[in-house]
Chain A
Amino acid sequence: MNKKSLATDEEQPQSRRRNLSLRSRFDLVFDSFLLIAFGVVFSWNFTGGKWHEWLGLALGLALLVHLTLHWDWVVRTARRIVTTTGRRRWTFIVNLLLTFDLVLCVGSGILISRFALPSLGINSLRPSESWTNIHDKSADIAIGLIALHVAIDWRWIVNVTKRMFHFGVLRTEESVNVEN
């Protein structure tokens, strides 16, 4: 094996580490968009009633796409829920609670809709104060659960962000150059 091929072999793991998959890039961008969208939809004073409802419906659809994209993980973890490690089990429980909370939040929002659904020809289904309370409370709970959801995947987020924007990669190259 000549020097050139050796060098290529040595470079391979580093370049593989630097090459971020399209899926990881998409996940990071899409999940960041979801977080920002939640912040926007949550802020009544900013959006006003009409935009809150339309953006909320769009966010509900985007959450469905998010769940679809991670469906393999859901099935895999659900199958091994008894035998899996404690951390993964907690992650699954947190994600399940978050899904249930957001389903409740979006569902109750649809039921108390006063702008979006009537403009589609569907009048408010159950505009009771109780559904409004559930909508408000589930949205408040979602803040904590989303924070927990982000915290669980914090290392992944930091790693992908670093690799995507080449933070730290330059430093590695510089240190390699210094050593040479």
Chain B
Amino acid sequence: MLKTKSKSNATGKFIKQFFYAALAITGLWFAGVGFSRTVLARPLGGDEKESFGGHFREGKPIKLPKNFVPQTGQTYVPGKDGSKPVLINLNQGNSKMDWQAWMSAVHIVLLIVIIAFVLAAIDRELRASRRRRVSN
């Protein structure tokens, strides 16, 4: 009986906190977007007229070589030395998973862990030196 009650209490608490967290995240989103639009006058993501406030590069039309048919709705950057434009984003237009490229995910995780390890080691040294200074 007590166990059931504590379980339902925990579930109730989780739901309540989930609601607060969702509310906080929504608030953070609208506060950030609102702040950039009103105070900074540099709308995040551009306003209705696609004015980007000048803090991010705007999409400029690029000269297309002959016989080049761009895919609609895709973003291109100019190719090197007048070669055909290169498709950016969406994994070069590929929507499928490339299992041979799984190492890139491992690299990202390793990069984060290594940076964290180095930062933690620096933090440990700083703490130790502060302790030594205090004890002296």
Which residue of B has the minimal Cβ distance to A137? B56
Q: Which of A47, A67, A134, A152 contacts B25 (CB 8 A)?
A: A67
Interface string of A146-166 (1 = CB under 8 A from B): 111111101100000000000
Shortest distance from the beta carbon of B85 to any chain A beta carbon, whole Å: 14
Shortest distance from the beta carbon of A109 to any chain B beta carbon, whole Å: 11
Q: Which of B59, B95, B123 contacts A129 (CB 8 A)?
A: B59
Q: Tell me if B41 is interfacial: C-beta within 8 Å of chain A.
A: no
Interface string of B34-59 (1 = CB under 8 A from A): 00000000001110001010001111
B97 touches A154 (CB 8 A): no
B interface bracket (residues with beta carbon within 8 Å of A): 35 or more
Which residue of B has the minimal Cβ distance to A46? B101
A68 touches B18 (CB 8 A): yes
Q: Tell me if A168 is interfacial: C-beta within 8 Å of chain B.
A: no
A interface bracket (residues with beta carbon within 8 Å of B): 35 or more
A47 touches B111 (CB 8 A): no
Q: Tell me if A84 is interfacial: C-beta within 8 Å of chain B.
A: no
User: Does more than half of chain A's interface fall in helix, strand or loop, or is it mixed?
Assistant: helix
Q: Which of B57, B91, B101, B106 contacts A52 (CB 8 A)?
A: B91
A45 touches B112 (CB 8 A): no
Shortest distance from the beta carbon of B27 to any chain A beta carbon, whole Å: 10
Q: Within A76-114, which residues are at the interface with B (CB < 8 Å)?
A: 99-100, 103-104, 107-108, 111, 114
A147 touches B112 (CB 8 A): yes
Contacts of B109 in A (CB 8 A): 35-36, 38-39
With A154-B117, A155-B120 given, is the CB distance from A48 to B94 under 8 Å? Answer: yes
Q: Tell me if A29 is interfacial: C-beta within 8 Å of chain B.
A: no
Which residue of A has the minimal Cβ distance to B53? A130
B22 touches A103 (CB 8 A): no
CB-defined A-B contacts under 8 Å, sample of 14:
A35-B112, A38-B108, A43-B105, A44-B91, A45-B104, A46-B101, A50-B96, A99-B25, A100-B28, A103-B32, A111-B45, A132-B75, A148-B119, A152-B123
Given contacts A45-B98, A46-B105, A143-B111, 20 further A-B contacts (CB under 8 A): A35-B112, A38-B109, A39-B112, A43-B107, A47-B91, A48-B95, A48-B97, A49-B91, A49-B95, A52-B91, A67-B21, A74-B24, A103-B25, A104-B32, A128-B46, A128-B52, A132-B75, A143-B108, A147-B116, A148-B119
